[in-house]
Amino acid sequence: MLEDLAKAYGKSGLAIARDYQGWDLFSAAPYESSTHGGRYVHNYSSEPAYGRFEEAGVMPVGAMMAKDSFTVSAKGEVEIGPLFIMEKMASGFNPQSNDWRYTMVMPDGSIFGQTMGKASDQMQFCADCHLATETDSLFFMPEEARAK
Ligand code: HEC
């Protein structure tokens, strides 16, 4: 399953899509995310401070978050969903996204959009929702989904 996800996203050629499964996994098990299409997701981060959750503070430049996703049909068939990525860029990168670069990689490896890159305006909805937090645009995850 994880290998299938890695293979699908890896077709994008993005280093994050290739590397994220080697980062720390902060979700205890896949959990259903209504805000990401009602799919099952895992939360990975390159930044150990993410594991302090609400106490994490402002993420350092270069911090990366990845959330892979899948759905399971009534027949039990797994269908891969998009890979959701956040990267903390240098100060001034884009005030409208709090200097986070949002990227969405489709299951066929194509890039749907990227903040300040391809279809940037179609990615603003990611930032608009994430900006609602007071914790550097990070929502973390429901408590019951957190790895201890
Ligand atoms: C309507 C609100 C909403 C939208 C739109 C949204 N997110 Fe999120 N995002 C959340 C919430 C809530 C969480 C944490 C809980 C969860 O996973 O469901 C989260 C978590 C994340 C995380 C893990 C880091 C964190 O915040 O803890 C990443 C990465 C992420 N989202 C990327 C994206 C990308 C990329 C998009 C746009 C394609 C996007 N999100 C759109 C609400 C949203």
Condensed to tens digits (0 to 9), the pLDDT of residues 38-64 reads: 999 999 999 999 999 999 999 999 999
- Closest CA to ligand 1's atom 40: 126
pLDDT of residue 1: 85
Which tokens belong to 78? 């797994």
Q: Give me ligand 1 centre to Cα 126, in Å.
A: 7
Average pLDDT over residues 27-47: 94
Find where tokens 């990366």 sit: 64
Average pLDDT over residues 56-85: 96
Find where tokens 């990615």 sit: 123
Where does the pLDDT of residue 132 fall: very low under 50, low under 70, confident under 90, or very high at 90 and above? very high
Q: Which of 35, 40, 64, 137 to mutate to test the pocket of ligand 1 (most atoms within 8 A of CB)?
A: 35
Residue 30's contacts (CB-CB under 8 Å, 6 or more residues apart) are 40, 41, 42, 70
Q: What is the distance between the alpha carbons of residues 21 and 128, in angstroms, rounded to a whole number?
A: 27
Average pLDDT over residues 60-74: 96
